[in-house]
Amino acid sequence: MAGVHLRIDGIDVEAPAGESLMHAAERAGVRVPGLCQFDGIAIVGACRLCMVEVAGTPRPRPACATPVAESMDVETDTPRLREHRRVLLEMLFAEGQHICAACVASGACELQDLAALYGVDHVNFSPAPNRMTMDLTHARFGYDPSRCVLCTRCVRTCAEVEGAYTWGVAGRGRDTHLVADFGGPWGESTSCTSCAKCVSVCPTGALFEKGTAVADRRVPRSLIPTLTARRRREATREEPQ
């Protein structure tokens, strides 16, 4: 497949056609922040933290969902983008109950890391009341909706990698939350295989293993792409000839 030539933050980059701007930037040593993107699962462009500016386009575009194109000129870290990300991060903190000092993911939380990167040390929005309680009905795992950023990594991983389709999203606005098996307690789910893949891809402390800090059990990011590739190979072998 022929490659394309573009510029990212002033760096000349050659990338294969169809590659996302996020991946092209990463290969060039440029970090583009994001919470919903995870290699090996479908792209949804939900968090909007990876927005970048492309010369000749009127609005920023999501780097995770935008393919490279010939002669693109991309900026990933302008003052406007930094302010955009800072405000989005503040909103994420305000919508939940992210008390880092009391969180199982402290020290291994992607939201916490981004807050430090963009200088979010306080929130200018009024925090939402915590109307939802933790689901601790599962024998091994727990779900804390107040720490969920609705990236849907767990939903996609459960469906696309494990094939269990346990997780879904319900509610509207600030009442939006994850549900297992259409709304029942996680511990009563008949589809959950207890594989822990959903817990492994959670960027915060929303999904956790009981009695273990996330920092002690964060799996390599290469795990899900590896399992996805294996599942695709197996599916190909099973197709009738």
What domains, with CATH codes, occur in the chain?
3-22+34-75 (3.10.20.740), 83-238 (3.30.70.20)
Looking at residue 107, what is its pLDDT? 87
Please state, in angstroms and rounded to a whole number, the distance separating the CA atoms of residues 19 and 4: 10
Q: In this structure, what is the dihedral angle of CA atoms 89, 160, 64, 79, given to the nearest 10 degrees? A: 0
Tell me how crowded residue 181 is: count the other CB atoms within 10 A of its CB: 17
Per residue in 71-104, pLDDT tens?
999 999 999 999 999 999 999 998 888 888 888 8
Looking at residue 174, what is its pLDDT? 79
Write down the pTM of the prediction.
Answer: 0.89
What SS3 state is found at 240?
coil
In sequence order, the 6+-apart residues with CB closer than 8 A to the CB of 90 are: 120, 123, 124, 125
Please state, in angstroms and rounded to a whole number, the distance separating the CA atoms of residues 26 and 24: 5
Give bridge partners of residue 135 from the DSSP assignment.
143
Looking at residue 240, what is its pLDDT? 56
Looking at residue 101, what is its pLDDT? 84
Extract the residue ranges of the chain whose pLDDT is less than 70: 1-2, 128-131, 215-218, 237-241
Sign, CA torsion 13/17/23/27 = negative
What is the separation of C-alpha 185 from the centre of its chain, rounded to a whole number of angstroms?
23
